[in-house]
Structure 1
C-alpha cells in the first residue's frame, strides 16, 4: 500500500473533516491528497484535467456516470477524464481511521506528448496507434505503478530546485505504464465487459463462478472447443492477459473481500479462492498488493477498529 511520510502528515493542515485537501502544483501536473475523517455520503468531486486517483487507506464507494457503483480500496487506481463528476461515499471513515486517496491531475498536453513519443518509439505489434486510454478505468496497481506513485509523493513534497524535471520524467513513465495496463484490459468485476456474443464470454463466466475449483488451460480450452494452444493464444489476444493471469486476478479480488472478515482464516480464504497452497496464494497476493494476506488482513482490521 502507498505510504504517506511522517513529514507529510506533520506538515499538512486539516481544515475540514471531509475530503481535506493537500495540494502541490507543478508545470504539467498537480498532486492532491484527500483525507476524510468522518462517514459521509454523496460527496461530489471533479477535476479540470485527466486524473489518476489511487487509494491509500480506507474504503470509498464510487458512483460514476453510466457505471455501476463499486468499492474503491487500497492498492487500486482509477483513471478519470477531465470534468468527470465523481459521487463518493465514505462508509468507514473515522477520526483515527481516515480514508485517504491520492489524485494526480495530469495536463492533456503532457499526455499528448507521451502518446506521440510512444507512437514514434514504441509502436504496437499490430501497427495500431497508441491512443487515449479508456477513461473510468479501474485497476489494481502493479509493482511498477505502485513504486512510481510512492516516488511521486516524495518528489512533489520535496523542496528541490529540479523537482519539476524529476516529476516530468516520472510522469512520462507513469502514463506509459497506465496505457500499457489499459491495453492489457485488467479490469475489476465492475468494469470488465465481455459481450455475450464474444466467443470467450461463457468461459469467463465459468471461471468467475468456479474460482474455488481447480481451473486449468486444458479443461477451459475444451469448454471453448479449442485446442489448449489455440485457446491460450485467443484468450490472450482478446483479453490482453493469459488465462492463468486472469484466473489469479479474479481469485485475488475475491480474497481481498474475504480478508475483511477477521474471523476467516487465511487457510479458509485460499481454499475458497481455489489456490492449491498457502505459499502460492501468498506469492500471488503479495505481487499485487505488496503485503502478505496475513499482513493485509491485520492492517485492515487495525484501521477498521481504531477508535
Structure 2
C-alpha cells in the first residue's frame, strides 16, 4: 500500500480490536493456507490512496463510501452491499470523501490463492456441469463489480468470524467456506450474464431461450410443463439446471420478473396500481399487493408514493 502519514489517532476506535497505527487504511491482517483476510478502517478524508495485492482479491464494503479509480473504468462510488473482484497485482487508487472518526469507512480485502480458485472451479465443472456442454463455470476477477446477494453477504460475514475466532477446526471451516464463496460468485456471474445479456446467448443456451420466452409471455399463465417442453428437458433436469444457474426456482423467477415489470409500470404517473397488476400478469389486486410486498418489502401503493416524492 502507498505510504501515508500516521496522523493523530485520538478519538478513533478500531472495530476489530487492533491497534490504530494510522487514520487512513488502518489494517488488520489474518492468514490461512489458501487466503488472507485484510480488514481496513479509515477515519479521515484522503485521496488517491494506492493499494494492490499479489493474489486475486475480493474486496467488499462494510460501512461508509469510497471512490474507486481502476484501470479502464471511470471513477465510481463504492458502497456497502457491493463487492469487487480484481486480478493479482491490479492497482487500485482510492478516495475517502466522507470518512471521519465518528463515521469511519470500513471494508475488507480477501485474497485467495489462484491455484485454489482453479481447483474449486475445475471440481465444480466436473461434478455439476452447466446446461450446455459448450459452457463452463468460471470466475472472472477482471474488475468485476457485483451486488452482494444474501448468500454472498452471509459467507463474507462468516469468514470474518472464522478468521478471528480461536477454534481447532478453524482451518477446515475457512477452507470449506472459501470453496462455497467461489462457487456462489461463479453462479452470480453466470446468472448476471444470462439475465443482462440474454439475447447474446439465446441461440446457444436453453436457459437464455427460456428466460426470453418467460419475459415475452409474462402476462400468461406459464406452466412448468410448457417451459420444460420449450427447453427440451425433463421436469427434474429442468428444475435442477434452472436452480443451479439462475439461483431460484422457475416459479420464483416468474414472480420476480412480474414484479420487475410492475415496477416499470408503476413508475409511469399515468398508470394505476390496477394497471400494474393486470399488465404484469396477476389476476387479482390482492394477490399482486401480497406478492409485491414479499419481493420488495413494501406495498405497491407505498412504492408509487415514493416515486412521486422523488419526482
Q: Answer 1 or 2: higher relative contact order, Cα 8 Å, separation at least 6.
A: 1
Is the contact between residue 134 and residue 182 of structure 1 (CA under 8 Å) also seen in structure 2? Answer: no
Match of 1:47 in 2: 53
Distance apart, 1:18 and its partner CA: 0.7
- Alignment counterpart, residue 170 of structure 1, candidates 177, 182, 200: 177
Paired residues in the alignment total 228
1:100 aligns with 2:103: no
Structure 2 CA distance, aligned partners of 1:104 and 1:244?
Answer: 35
Match of 1:87 in 2: 93
Q: What runs of 5+ residues in structure 1 fail to find an aligned partner?
A: 1-7, 201-215, 222-228, 253-270, 288-292, 294-307
Structure 1 CA distance, aligned partners of 2:201 and 2:120?
Answer: 34
- Alignment counterpart, residue 23 of structure 1, candidates 29, 33, 39: 29
Distance apart, 1:185 and its partner CA: 2.0
Distance apart, 1:10 and its partner CA: 5.7
TM-score by length of 1: 0.62
1:56 aligns with 2:56: no
Distance apart, 1:150 and its partner CA: 1.0
Structure 2 CA distance, aligned partners of 1:135 and 1:95?
Answer: 33
Q: Residues 90-149 of structure 1: CA distance to partner in whole angstroms, max 9, x if unpaired? A: 111111100000111100111011012111111111012223325211111111111111
Structure 1 CA distance, aligned partners of 2:184 and 2:201?
Answer: 29
Structure 2 CA distance, aligned partners of 1:34 and 1:112?
Answer: 27
- Alignment counterpart, residue 129 of structure 1, candidates 127, 133, 136: 136
Structure 2 CA distance, aligned partners of 1:199 and 1:160?
Answer: 46
Is the contact between residue 49 and residue 82 of structure 1 (CA under 8 Å) also seen in structure 2? Answer: yes
SS class of match (1:131):
coil
Quick one: structure 1 residues 62 and 285, their matched pair in 2 at CA, closer, same or farther if it must change by over 3 Å?
farther
Structure 1 CA distance, aligned partners of 2:73 and 2:262?
Answer: 23
Distance apart, 1:218 and its partner CA: 5.2
Quick one: structure 1 residues 280 and 34, their matched pair in 2 at CA, closer, same or farther if it must change by over 3 Å?
farther
Quick one: structure 1 residues 280 and 28, their matched pair in 2 at CA, closer, same or farther if it must change by over 3 Å?
same
Q: What runs of 5+ residues in structure 2 fail to find an aligned partner?
A: 1-13, 203-213, 220-226, 232-241, 248-252, 264-272, 278-284, 304-311
